Amino acid sequence: MNLEDRERTETEKLRESPKVRRALGEYSPVEQHRRAREPMALNREKTALWVFGAVFIAAGVLYYLFRLEAFPIRGRFLPLLQNLMAGTMLVTVVLVASRLLKSLFRGRIENPSTRYNLRRIVDLAAALLIFFIFVSILFVNWYAAVVSLGVASLILGLALQNPISSFFGWVYILIRRPYEVGDRIKIGGVSGDVIELGYLDTTLWEFNGDYLTGDHPSGRIIRFANSRVFSEYVINYSWPLFPYIWNEVKFFVSYESDLKWVRKTARKVVQEEIGPEMARRVGLYRQILRESPVDEVEVRARGSVSFSAHDNTWIQVTVRFLVEPKQSGPVKRRLFTRLVEELSSQPERVMFPKTNMR
């Protein structure tokens, strides 16, 4: 298989990625090769299903015995006990259904962030159903229940405006997908990798931060309310159609340096270190970009070098390269070290700022 055929095959594999297909507007969550794994998803839940089944049967038997008045219990308590047993049976059904759904998600959906979001939705739906079941048990009169819930909702709505806004922010994130678990983002003044997307807040594994200048993890965890997506810009470094960014290495040389040789050497270093990988990335995604709303498909497959005058009387050299966001720090460090070594090998052609001239 030649290089062109291999790139075409890899492009088709990328096109089958759920994130890429969703971004192109042709996402289809059901794929034939996943269906064979559906029965395997239920094996892990056998113990829980047996427990739920036993609880369901026990509640059903007690419900039937209470109806027959088989126990010496006062008549006014029998309806409440019957409702409790019926509610227990319904809660068991809801829990079994939620576990089965989450098991099926594990077998059918390979994308981790999609599975995570669907599990959270199922958990929320199950919690709401269980809540309404117990409300039905406690309030036999639905009119009284509605009035009580209305008053409680008004009080809670006034007292919990921010949490409610954050919950709707979570709904917005699930629908519009400004970011997902695993994405590297910047929102407001913080940056990091999304490690958890909760109902009320989002958790980031911070990179950069107050004590670092490069794209390295700081070791800190950042939580912010989901409502911030309504008022802050969200910068996502992990767009599925082109999950790379341009980064730069900057250094200074004197006006007496051989700028043509500096440019040629810098390009050679970039080409030797990451050139083939850059060309491969651009080749794979250029065709996919043509199918996106982005009308800019002339993405350079090689690094670039530019010169600019600086206030410190030196020339600033900027070397640009394409890299994965999470690999930006290590690649930048490797390129800088190699550039300094190559350029320093011929001091008669390039001059760097000296220590006593800083």
Domain boundaries, the chain: 18-159, 176-236, 245-357
pLDDT for 249 equals 92
How many other CB atoms sit within 10 Å of the CB of residue 286? 16
Q: At what angle do helices 328-344 and 259-290 cross, to 10 degrees?
A: 150
Residue 34 has a pLDDT of 43
- In this model, does residue 224 exceed pLDDT 90? yes
For residue 42, CA distances in Å to 99, 190, 199, 225 come to 9, 40, 27, 35
- What proportions of the chain, in percent to the nearest 5, are helix, strand and coil? 60, 15, 25
Mean pLDDT, range 137-151, rounded to an integer: 60
What is the pLDDT at residue 28?
A: 38
Confidence of residue 251 (pLDDT cuts 50, 70, 90): very high
> Which residues does 256 contact at the CB level (< 8 Å), separation at least 6?
351
Please count the CA atoms within 13 angstroms of the CA of 130 that sit on its side-chain side.
Answer: 15
Q: Any idea which residue has 């965890």 for tokens?
A: 221
Torsion, CA 18, CA 19, CA 21, CA 23, rounded to 10: 160
Structure tokens that stand for 62 in this block: 């007690």
CATH for 245-357 (1.10.10.410, 3.40.50.150, 3.30.70.100, 3.40.50.300)? 3.30.70.100
pLDDT at 31 (0 to 100) = 40
Confidence of residue 291 (pLDDT cuts 50, 70, 90): low
CA–chain centroid gap for 241, Å, is 15
Distance CA 230, CA 166 (A): 9
Whether the per-residue pLDDT at 62 is higher than 90: the answer is no
> Cα angle vertex 205, ends 202, 209, to 5°?
110
In sign, the C-alpha dihedral spanning 249, 251, 253, 255 is: positive
The answer to whether residues 81 and 73 touch, using CB atoms and an 8 Å cutoff, is yes
pLDDT band at 265 (very low <50, low <70, confident <90, very high): very high
Under a CB-based contact definition with an 8 Å cutoff, are residues 309 and 289 in contact? no
Per cent of the chain over pLDDT 90 is 20
Q: In the predicted model, what is the mean pLDDT of the chain?
A: 78
The length of the chain, given as a count of residues: 358
Q: Closest by alpha carbon to 249, among 146, 133, 355, 343?
A: 343
The span from the CA of 137 to the CA of 145, in Å, is 10
Distance CA 168, CA 153 (A): 16
pLDDT tops 50 at residue 323: yes
pTM: 0.60
The answer, yes or no, to whether residue 314 has pLDDT greater than 60, is: yes
Element (H, E) at 194: strand 190-197
pLDDT confidence of residue 151:
59
> What confidence category does residue 127 fall into, taking pLDDT thresholds of 50, 70 and 90?
confident
Q: Which CATH class is domain 176-236?
A: mainly beta
Res. 41: pLDDT tops 60 = no
Say if residue 263's pLDDT is above 90: yes
In contact, 315 and 254? CB cutoff 8 Å: yes
CA–CA separation, 136 vs 91, rounded Å?
12
